[in-house]
Structure formats: structure tokens, C-alpha cells
Amino acid sequence: MKKQIFILALIAIFCVKSFAQLGTPLTQYSGNQLLFNPAVAGLGDVLAVNLSVRKQWIQIPGSPSLMSLNAHMPIKNQRHALGMVLQREEWGPMSGNFGYANYAYKMEIHGNILSLGLQAGFYNSVVDWTKIEHVPDPDDPTLRKYRQSNTNLDVNVGLYWLTQGYYLGFSAKHLAPPKIDFTRDTFSNGGWYPHMSTQFYLMSGYEIPLQNDWKLRPEWLFRYVHRTPMAINVGMHAVYMNRYSLGTNLQTGQNTISFTVRGFVTDYLRIGYSYNLYFGAIQAAQQGTHEISMTYLHNQLWEGGRRDLIRNRPVVRKQTRGRSAPVRRPSGGRPPMRR
């Protein structure tokens, strides 16, 4: 086990790009898009709070893991939205901590929505050499027994276009690439400071109505980092009554197939679970990847502002035989999809 940890550490050190492009891929990205695109904030006109936990390559010590907490909501005029993102990733002796404040501005164009988003915050990188044991050369200055940390500012931007049953988003993360210092003061030239590379994301999805309250929802996520192959995630989900879904995703680069089930357990709480299978040399050494996502959605943000959680339409009430019944007011072309 200790040998495996050491091997993972060596891979991380000599393959600096893998850490400099830190960004553990989420299987349930379509339900947690704020991590990839700041322009998503406020869409749906609800308060949305998401907690996601992912553990990759079960049974391999030091394998990648991720935990994120984010929230966003529109403010009263619904054109502006605020949010925040907290995220932690770990891989062997290394970890990354992100914290962002989020702002988005929405404008309506011919019944569709164009949203512009900005995230600004910090990135903290940590290398804990104390987690490595049985080092072949204890005098190696690059493997000192100490914990090293440095913090940098970080900026992300995004665009998001939302129409009747279709969305398209583009974003760029780490526009001010943080420096990741592995070996401060160990080289005569002042240290080794690889940069975290800027990451570009293009995401899209579409709803295909079927019969008996069923829909198909194909979706795509493209991720590009300089000097690396493009990673493509393609998914297909069957949605029932806009509350429950079952689907699968294929991802290039990591050679994985995943299965996801997601649904509302109450009117305001949605829970999703994903399991990833890997192909190739690593298949025999691990038992897949698990991911859990919990999202709280609250649409009574202010008096008169209640909206249908599923279709993103205003809800009013009328009297029917002495009792009030909900009636959906026409949305005037407002997109029904909520992210």
C-alpha cells in the first residue's frame, strides 16, 4: 500500500501537467454546471444549493477525490444573480482548494436568455510530503518531509444561451493561471513554478419530448487544455415527469462509461448517484468510481416570486369550488429548462 502511494506521488511529480490541469471530472455535470460555467447562476429563478462528493478509483490509495459546495440565486429583479463555489480536490500527497464569489447578468432576447458570468476568488495548492513513506533516497531535496502551501488569485468567465428546450454554454477557467510551487528553494534558480493551465469548456443539451411524460435529454461536454487531447463527455438520459432520470455517459481520455440515477425525493431536494467503470490497464486495480450529488431547490425567494421548479413558469392560484388550485401562467416564451 505504501509503495502504491509512493508511485502515485512520483507520477504526480514527473507528470506536472496532470496536476497543473487539476479538475476532477464530474459525471453529473449537467446538474452541477456552476462548477464549470459561472453564467449558470440564477437560471431557473430559484435558490439552488448543491453538495457533490466523488471518490475515484476505489481501493487505490491516494486516488483522486473531490468535494464541492456551491449555491446561487437571482436577486429581486431577476436580471442579476449571485453565488459562491467552494471546492476541494485531492490526489496522493497533493490537494487543491478553490473558493469563488460568483456574479451573473441575464438578458432576454426574443424570448430566450443570454447570461454572462464571472467568478473571482483564490486557489490554494498544498503538497504534503509527510504522506510519502519509504522514500528510496531520503536525501532527495524534492521529497522533504514537510507540508507546503501557496495561494493565488483566480478568475473564471462564462456565457450561457438558454432557449426552449435547448442550452449552450462556453466558459474559460483559470484565466489568471495560479502558480503551483512544488519545490520552493530547492533549485538555484529560485524554485520550480509550473502554472495551472487555462481550461476551456463547451457544453450543450437538448430535450426531446416523448409520450406519457417521458423525455430524452442528450448532452455534451467538451474540455480543452493546451497541449492535451480534447476530453469529450457524451450522455443520454431518460427523464420521467421532469422529476426522475436514468442515464449513461461515455468519456474519452479516461476511457470510462458511467451510469446515473437522479430524482426528487421531496419537492425541494434532488439526489443523484453515479457509478463509473474504467477500461484499460487500471481496470484490474480498482473497483470503479462513486459520485453522490444532493441539490436543494427553493423557489419562494420573495413575495410574488414563486415559480414552478420544473418548468420555470410563474405559478398563480385560482378558486375552484372553495379550494385554491395551482395554475401555470403562460411564460411568454420563457425557456422551460432549469439548470
Predicted local confidence at residue 17, as pLDDT: 44
| Rounded-to-integer distance, Cα 300 and Cα 297, Å | 10
Predicted local confidence at residue 142, as pLDDT: 58
284 falls in which pLDDT band (50, 70, 90)? low
Q: Where are the beta strands (DSSP E) in the chain?
A: 47-55, 65-74, 80-91, 94-109, 112-128, 147-163, 166-173, 199-206, 208-209, 214-225, 231-240, 244-251, 256-264, 269-278, 289-298, 315-320, 323-328
228 falls in which pLDDT band (50, 70, 90)? confident
| Rounded-to-integer distance, Cα 271 and Cα 263, Å | 6
Contact, 50 vs 28, CB < 8 A?
Answer: no
**Section 332-339 average pLDDT:** 45
The pLDDT tens digits of the residues spanning 25-61 come to 788 888 889 999 999 999 888 899 999 999 887 777 7
**Section 266-270 average pLDDT:** 93
Predicted local confidence at residue 214, as pLDDT: 95
More confident residue, 264 or 148: 264
260 DSSP β-pair partners: 247, 274
130 falls in which pLDDT band (50, 70, 90)? confident
Comparing 1-5, 137-141, 263-267, 282-286, the range with the smallest average pLDDT is: 1-5
Whether pTM exceeds 0.85: no
* pLDDT over 80 at 295, yes or no: yes
Predicted local confidence at residue 233, as pLDDT: 92
The pLDDT tens digits of the residues spanning 200-210 come to 999 999 999 99
Average pLDDT score, the chain: 77
125 falls in which pLDDT band (50, 70, 90)? confident
Per the document, the length of the chain is 339
134 falls in which pLDDT band (50, 70, 90)? low
Residue boundaries of the structural domains of the chain: 2-266+273-328
Classify burial at 322, counting beta carbons within 10 Å of its beta carbon; exposed 0-12, middle 13-18, buried 19 or more: exposed
**Section 228-239 average pLDDT:** 91
| Rounded-to-integer distance, Cα 333 and Cα 113, Å | 10
Closest CA to 162 of 305, 41, 244: 41
Closest CA to 174 of 149, 142, 199: 199
The fold for domain 2-266+273-328 equals Lipocalin (2.40.128)
Comparing 109-118, 224-233, 294-303, 322-331, the range with the smallest average pLDDT is: 322-331
Contact, 226 vs 50, CB < 8 A?
Answer: no
